[in-house]
Structures are given as C-alpha cells and as structure tokens.
Amino acid sequence: MRVLHRFFLPSLLLLTTTFAIAQQNSSDIDSKVDALLKQMTLEEKAGQLTQLAGKTPESLQAIREGKVGSLLGVLGADNANEAQRAAVEHSRLKIPLILGFDVIHGYRTVFPVPIASTGSFDMPLLEQAERVAAKEATASGVKWVFAPMLDIARDPRWGRIVEGIGEDPYLGSRVAAAKVRGFQGKSIADPDSVVACAKHYVAYGAAEGGRDYNTVDISEQLLREIYLPPFKGAVDAGIGTFMSSFQDLNGIPGVANHHTLTDILRDEWKFNGFVVSDWGAVHELLAHGFATDDADAAAKSIKAGVDMDMVDNAFEHIPELVRSGKLPESVVDEAVRRVLRVKFEAGLFEHPYADPKREKTDILTPENLQVARKLAQESMVLLQNKSEVLPLAKTKTVAVIGPLADDKASQLGPWAGNGQAIDAVSPLEGIVGKIGKEHVLYAKGVGIPSFEGGLGAGVASPAPPSATGVKGIANTNKPSSIDDAVAAANKADVVVLFLGELAGMTGEASSRASLDFPGDQLKLANAVLATKKPVVLVVESGRPLDIRWATYHTQAILQAWFPGVQAGNAIANILFGDASPSGRLAISWPRTLGEIPIYYNHRATGRPSSPDRWHTGYLDLPNTALFPFGFGLTYSKFSYSHLAVKTPTIAPDGSLEVTADVENTGSREATEVVQLYVHDRVGLTSRPVRELKGFERVTLRPGERKTVDFSVKANDLGSYDPQMHWVVNSGTYDVWVAPDSASGVAGTFEVK
Ligand code: BGC
C-alpha cells in the first residue's frame, strides 16, 4: 500500500453563473449587515445573540428593548406576528426575530421517526416530506427548524437514536442533504421555506453507556470518519445554521469546543451561517466544571464559535465582558454579522410576518397526509415472513391485540412537532378501515408502564422470567385482559400483535438500560402464542428491542417504528398487500443488550470472527447482528448476479464504475434497495470491513431484471491517515453489490 493522493475533503464544483449571483447577493447583504452593525449598541448586539423560550409578557418587553434576537416555541401565525411586531415595530432598530421550533419529523403532519424514515433510502421522498414540514411550519409562523438531527449512534440504549440517522456516515450525509434541500427549498427567502439547523454538533450520539448527555471520548479519526460526515453533508447542501451539542467531547463541552466549532466548521468547511447552543448548554458549562460563572461561560462559548445562546440568557454578560477587556468586540461583531446575514438571507427584513390564511390551507392537507402515508410505508422493515404469511388475505378474521394497537399518541413518536394524537390513525383503525369491523377482533391485553417518576421507576422489581425465559419488567397496571386477548386469538384466523415501547420511552432523556418489552407484554405474547394461531408481530419502538423470542415463535415480524400520523393506514396497506414493504435497517439490530455496540462498519481485527475460539467474539453469542444494517425483506425475492467492475484500475482522480444484475425472482412487484459497499484491504489505518458508498431503490415486476450502475469518485474511497490528512490509498479494494451489509455479489478493483 502506498498513499497516492493527499488532499483535504472535498472540492465543490460550483456553476460559475450561480456563483457570481450568490456572490453579488452576499456582498449586498454584507453591506446591509455592516450598516446595521454600526448602529448597534453592545446591548443590542448581545440581544441579537439571545434566544428566549416562548411569547410571554417578559419576553415581549425584552424584544421591544432590543434584547432578543430569536424566540423558540411560538406557534400559530397570530402569536408569531405579535412577537414579530414587538421587534419590527417597537424596538429601536426594528430587526426582525427569527422564530424557531423543533420540527424533527413533521410539523402537524407527523412523519415516521427519523431512524425509520432514514431506512426508506428514498432521498426524493425525504426531501418532499421536509418540503411539507417547511410549508406547514411557515404557515404557523415558524421560520427556523431545529432539524435535521444528524447524530450517528451505535447504541440503542441512547433514547435519541430514534431522532437520528442510524449508524452510517454515507447514508447520514445523503439524508442530511435531502433534508436540507427539503426544508430550505430553492431559497430560504421563500415564504414556504425554513432555515434548517444541523444538530447536535457533534458526537452527541456516542454518549458512554448510551446515557443521554453523558461524556464522549473518541479519537479524532472516529470523529472525522463517522460522526462528522453527515454534518459536512449539511454544509455542502447549504444549511443555514448549526446547533452545538450538550456533551463534552474528549473533555471539552460542545458549546466551548473551538476545534469543532471554529477549526473544522468555519476554517475547514467554510460554514457561513450561525451556531446556536442547545437548551441551557452555555450555563451548563458550570456543571461541567468548565466555567466559573455565566459570564465566564458566555465568554468561553462565543470565543469557541457559538453565536446565539438558547434560553439561558448568559449572553447578557457580553457588554460587561467587552467593556472589561475579557472579550474582544470583534468576536461579538462577527457573531452578530452571522445572525443578521441569515435573517437577511431568509427575507425576514422584507417579509417578517406570517400569512394567517395559510394556516387554513397548508396544514394537514390530503396531499401532505399522502406524503406521510407513503413515507411510513417505505420506512417499515419486514424482518421475517415465514411461509409468506404476509400479506394477509382481506377475507380473514384478524385478532388485533396489544397495548399499542389503539394508542394514537405513540404512533406519533417522541418529538412530534405540533402533532396531535387526535390526527393519528391507530393501527386498529387502519385495519378496520381496510377489512371492515366484521373481520376484526380487538383486545388490548395489557398496558405498558410509563416509567414516569424518574429513571428506574417501574423497573425496581424485575418480573419472574416468562415462559420464553426472557425477563419482563414489573407491571404497575393490572394485566386484566390477557384472557380477552386469548379469546380473541382463538376466534381468529390470524393474530396481529402490536407490542413495543411507548413513544415517551424514546427520545431525549429517555435512555434505557434494557432492550426488553416493558411491562407484561411478553406474558401477553406467550398467552397468545399458546393458542397456536399464526402470529404477525408488529413492533412499534424507537430502538431495536430484543426480539429473539419472536424470530422463533412468530410467523412474521414487521418493525413499524413510530410511523406518524398515517400509522394505521400505512400498516394496514402493508399487512394486506396494498403496499409492498421496502424499508431497510439504518442500524444493525443487536441480538441482545450485551452485543452493544454492534455496527457493520467495524474495523478489521487481527483475529477476525471465526468459529475457532481464539478469535474476536463471545462464547455465548454469534458475533453478528440479529439483522444486519441495510436488511429488510420484501414480498418478493431478488437475485444478484454478474457483478462487473468496469474500471478494474482507477486513478486517484478517476471513478469506480460497477454494475450488477438484480432480478425479481418472486411473484410480486417489489422494491429492492440495492447497496454498494467497498473495503480498502490495506490502509494507513486499519479500515472498516465494509463501507456503504452508494444505493439505489429499484422497483421490478416478477421476472424483471435490471442492470444497476454505480459510480463512486476515487476521492470518496479515501480515509484519514494518523495525522488526519485525507488520503486515497493505493492497492486492492473489495466491492459488493448487495441487499444488505452482510451479503451480496463481490469483486475487486485496484487504485493506482
Ligand atoms: C434538545 C434539542 C432541541 C432543543 C430546543 C434541547 O433539549 O436537545 O434537540 O432542539 O431542546 O427544543
């Protein structure tokens, strides 16, 4: 192996005309920003860098005094306009506010949770969904969304794995770009576009033990190769803002990390927008043991590269810091420039107000719901389908059983924007709508304990092992209707069992130390399985749960995640074959807790996994995921053949061209997510055993075959050397065209 090429990532090719126009606009905006900046007092500058929560009499007064640049969580055009009027009509300099909100997977039309929709691998549809979200949010006066959430995570204990993009940096950066395009549209100045915010920068998902907000200690190489690429993808797509993360990275808290916020984000990537801190994170520097008081915290954050302080008002210390010589005014000016530039670019000076009419026409429309349903259908992952029990015939009598079958709130997931449970179609409603109530028997069976009351609540006394040997969690609700469930199952042709987690068991501050099904759900499952009726398990959860029992005892497993407002219709369409499953896993599915972290793109070891004892792995478990990253079944079968490397030898400035034939060998039309993986055999650091470098969704009729082409720039095959230079190694690479990260047809090529 020899290093062939060494250069920094990556070079963007811009069309010269677009570039000229952008430059002209940006120099216009720069002069407007400078003119405004000259008129500002230090207090007004600090005000532009301050975000408060909610529209209250106090926040309105502070806005009028020029002490606020942004509010978060103000919903509804009238509310937004009232707050905006305080700034635009009653503050001295009339600088508009930028109003922000968390629109993580939809505003009112709630889409599937991001870990699910990432698995659709459908970039145009993700873009379309964020267009819908932007349209709805702006109709409600929101101009800035705290999304996309781009945290890679390898640990399903971490509750926020549900909000993110799974485990893969390439997929993550593609999703980032699609979402930024969707949110920001053609221009952030358009009335139906929002400014997007890439969060949480950076490595928040690597929290030790999966405990939210916990410390992160990872190498610079891991940071650059795994955690940074989705954020780089967002910058390349032109994102307007970033949010720094709560946690410390190698000892430096996210808001005070000059290396990530300035050296990388500004100097290497040339990011031109502004950075907001996460909720209260500047003040939390005190608890981190990184600042003595709020003034010190403010100075450390703004010097590191944070431009706006979210809610803790620590930046009110800026004037005194400047006057006492502890903070150069030039640093403050630069932060204010960045905020004002985004406000100008977003057209807020020309059009500060929301149009209240749009609230009636643009929100929760049939077209928006259609997008939500399609994305939900494409996000579910069919994990098992023994003897092709699915799709079900519409003439069957179906027992719909389980605590999530009619739980509308949980369908929306943990961070549902302005979503309302009443809008959600529950699975039961969807199934009844599909086959008629005369074909449906319903029993909830058991409830799910909510864990409310703090960490560990409800788990103090583990239940005795159930018949499957899998432990449950003591249930505070009396499981009064398991008998009803058994009776329903006995009368039905097939059982569809809805088990999982409540939405509130995932998301922020919702880490779990177990991957079990909480409460008495397994007791219910065992009772239903004892009827010997075919069982289709539908899992609704924000993380992979331990489903080993189900792989033995149920006929089919559909991982539905939290599918959003159209949950029931989407699930019914899949179950009864009106839609075909095509979703894939965006994370490796562990067999059990002890396997965490498990991810497909792990480095090669000196003793690769093997049945022989003296190799990496466990004595008591296979060294593989239960289901690998990229896995998902369809209602058909696909064969892969004829992998052809069109470019057996490529130069560092060339491209790899690969084709393979994919054929639908089953009896139904279906969509296959065809994936391209590579492996650099010898590098300057030990390379991952596989890395995703491309994918394509291919829909084929029975018997139809397609030659799928992939093209990858040699530069994108590179990696970081120990000195953190991007290098493209010469030598032999493996390549696979594959249905998932653990199989496929293989070939090799050389980089010379
Ligand atoms: C979360 C962010 C969110 C912010 C504002 C924080 O607690 O970590 O993801 O954007 O609150 O709601």
Two tokens, residue 603: 């480095």
pTM: 0.94
Nearest CA to ligand 1 atom 8: 278
The tens digit of pLDDT for each residue in 590-647 reads 999 999 999 999 999 999 998 889 999 999 999 999 999 999 999 999 999 999 999 9
Two tokens, residue 618: 């466990």
CB 562 within 8 A of CB 414: yes
CB 85 within 8 A of CB 113: no
Give the pLDDT band (50/70/90) at residue 116: very high
Q: How far apart, in whole angstroms, are the C-alpha atoms of residue 175 and residue 168?
A: 10
Residue type, 338: R
Q: Can you tell me the mean pLDDT for 39-56?
A: 98
Q: Coil, strand or helix: which one is 261?
A: helix
Q: How far apart, in whole angstroms, are the C-alpha atoms of residue 696 and residue 693?
A: 11
Q: How far apart, in whole angstroms, are the C-alpha atoms of residue 39 and residue 323?
A: 18
Q: Which residue has the tokens 């979210």?
A: 310
Q: Which of 96-105, 474-483, 514-523 has the lowest mean pLDDT?
A: 474-483
Q: Coil, strand or helix: which one is 18?
A: helix
- Ligand 1 mean position to 313 CA, how many Å? 16
Report the pLDDT value the prediction gives residue 123, as an integer from 0 to 100.
98
DSSP 32-70: HHHHHHHH--HHHHHHHTEEEES--HHHHHHHHTT--SE
Nearest CA to ligand 1 atom 12: 102
Q: Can you tell me the mean pLDDT for 232-260?
A: 98
Q: Are strands 98-101 and 144-145 parallel, antiparallel or unpaired?
A: parallel
- Ligand 1 mean position to 274 CA, how many Å? 16
Q: Which residue has the tokens 């596989």?
A: 690
Mean pLDDT, all residues of the chain = 93
Residues 6 or more apart in contact with residue 142 via CB below 8 angstroms: 74, 75, 80, 99, 100, 101, 103, 107, 194
Is the model's pLDDT at 434 over the cut of 60? yes
Is the model's pLDDT at 21 over the cut of 80? no
Q: Can you tell me the mean pLDDT for 648-663?
A: 97
H-helix segments, 166-317: 169-184, 220-222, 229-236, 258, 284-288, 294-304
Residue type, 34: D
Give the pLDDT band (50/70/90) at residue 287: very high
- Ligand 1 mean position to 703 CA, how many Å? 49
Q: How far apart, in whole angstroms, are the C-alpha atoms of residue 744 and residue 209?
A: 33
- Ligand 1 mean position to 272 CA, how many Å? 22
Nearest CA to ligand 1 atom 7: 279
Nearest CA to ligand 1 atom 10: 146
Q: Can you tell me the mean pLDDT for 303-311?
A: 98
- Ligand 1 mean position to 282 CA, how many Å? 13
Nearest CA to ligand 1 atom 5: 279
CB 510 within 8 A of CB 504: yes
Is the model's pLDDT at 466 over the cut of 50? no
CA torsion 69-74-79-85 (nearest 10°) is: 0
Nearest CA to ligand 1 atom 2: 278
Distance of CA 594 to the CA centre of its chain: 24
Maximum alpha-carbon separation in the chain: 79
Is the model's pLDDT at 1 over the cut of 60? no
- Ligand 1 mean position to 279 CA, how many Å? 6
Q: Are strands 381-385 and 556-559 parallel, antiparallel or unpaired?
A: antiparallel
Is the model's pLDDT at 428 over the cut of 80? yes
Find the angle CA(254)-CA(259)-CA(262) to the nearest 5 degrees. 95
For residue 74, count other CB atoms closer than 10 A to its CB: 25
The tens digit of pLDDT for each residue in 137-165 reads 999 999 999 999 999 999 999 999 999 99
CB 142 within 8 A of CB 133: no
Q: Nearest Cα to 80, choosing from 65, 107, 60, 64?
A: 60
CB 142 within 8 A of CB 103: yes
Pocket test for ligand 1, best of 279, 283, 284 (most atoms within 8 A of CB): 279
Integer angstrom CA distances of residue 402 from 106, 372, 507: 27, 24, 22
Is the model's pLDDT at 442 over the cut of 70? yes
Nearest CA to ligand 1 atom 6: 279
Give the pLDDT band (50/70/90) at residue 480: low
Q: Are strands 655-664 and 638-645 parallel, antiparallel or unpaired?
A: antiparallel
Q: How far apart, in whole angstroms, are the C-alpha atoms of residue 175 and residue 230?
A: 8
Distance of CA 242 to the CA centre of its chain: 15
Find the angle CA(281)-CA(310)-CA(53) to the nearest 5 degrees. 125
Half-sphere exposure of 90 (CA within 13 A, CB side): 14
Two tokens, residue 294: 């709020």
Q: Can you tell me the mean pLDDT for 59-63?
A: 98
CB 693 within 8 A of CB 170: yes
CB 44 within 8 A of CB 94: no
Mapping DSSP onto H, E and C, the string for 1-16 reads CCEEEECCCCCCCCCH
Q: Coil, strand or helix: which one is 562?
A: coil
- Ligand 1 mean position to 528 CA, how many Å? 40
CB 700 within 8 A of CB 582: no
Q: Can you tell me the mean pLDDT for 661-668?
A: 98
CB 99 within 8 A of CB 72: yes
CB 117 within 8 A of CB 179: no
**Active-site choice (102, 151, 155, 278):** 278
The tens digit of pLDDT for each residue in 665-677 reads 999 999 999 999 9
Ordered domains of the chain (ranges, CATH): 38-354 (3.20.20.300), 363-579 (3.40.50.1700), 638-751 (2.60.40.10)
Q: Can you tell me the mean pLDDT for 503-520?
A: 97
Mapping DSSP onto H, E and C, the string for 635-701 reads CCCEEEEEEEECCCEECCCCEEEEEEEEEECCCCCEEEEEEEEEEECCCCCCCECCEEEEEEEEEEC
Strand order in the sheet with 726-729: 3-6, 726-729, 719-720
Report the pLDDT value the prediction gives residue 451, as an integer from 0 to 100.
78
Rounded (10°) angle between helices 169-184 and 229-236: 30
Pocket test for ligand 1, best of 162, 204, 247, 508 (most atoms within 8 A of CB): 508
CB 100 within 8 A of CB 112: no
- Ligand 1 mean position to 102 CA, how many Å? 7
Q: Can you tell me the mean pLDDT for 314-323?
A: 98
**16 vs 534, more confident:** 534
Q: Nearest Cα to 740, choosing from 699, 698, 692?
A: 692
The tens digit of pLDDT for each residue in 701-718 reads 999 999 999 999 999 999
Report the pLDDT value the prediction gives residue 26, as an integer from 0 to 100.
81
Residue 146 CA: nearest ligand 1 atom is 10
Q: Which of 376-380, 457-461, 711-715, 737-741 has the lowest mean pLDDT?
A: 457-461
Q: Which residue has the tokens 């032109």?
A: 238
The tens digit of pLDDT for each residue in 94-114 reads 999 999 999 999 999 999 999
Report the pLDDT value the prediction gives residue 624, as an integer from 0 to 100.
95
Q: How far apart, in whole angstroms, are the C-alpha atoms of residue 487 and residue 707?
A: 51
Residue 149 CA: nearest ligand 1 atom is 9
Distance of CA 713 to the CA centre of its chain: 26
Report the pLDDT value the prediction gives residue 27, as an integer from 0 to 100.
87
Residues in contact with ligand 1 (CB, 6 Å cut-off): 72, 102, 146, 199, 278-279, 508
Residue 508 CA: nearest ligand 1 atom is 8
Report the pLDDT value the prediction gives residue 24, as an integer from 0 to 100.
53
Q: Can you tell me the mean pLDDT for 500-528?
A: 97
Two tokens, residue 140: 């409600």
Q: How far apart, in whole angstroms, are the C-alpha atoms of residue 734 and residue 374?
A: 35
Pocket test for ligand 1, best of 102, 282, 284, 311 (most atoms within 8 A of CB): 102
Two tokens, residue 261: 């916020």
Our answer to whether residue 155 is catalytic in this structure is: no
Is the model's pLDDT at 462 over the cut of 50? no
The tens digit of pLDDT for each residue in 166-204 reads 999 999 999 999 999 999 999 999 999 999 999 999 999
- Ligand 1 mean position to 301 CA, how many Å? 17
Extended beta strands in 316-447, E state: 381-385, 398-401, 440-443
Residue 197 CA: nearest ligand 1 atom is 10
Q: Coil, strand or helix: which one is 322?
A: helix
Q: How far apart, in whole angstroms, are the C-alpha atoms of residue 192 and residue 190?
A: 5
Q: What percent of the chain lies above the pLDDT cut of 90?
A: 91
- Ligand 1 mean position to 278 CA, how many Å? 6
Number of H helices, E strands in the chain: 22, 27
Report the pLDDT value the prediction gives residue 611, as an integer from 0 to 100.
86
Give the pLDDT band (50/70/90) at residue 452: low
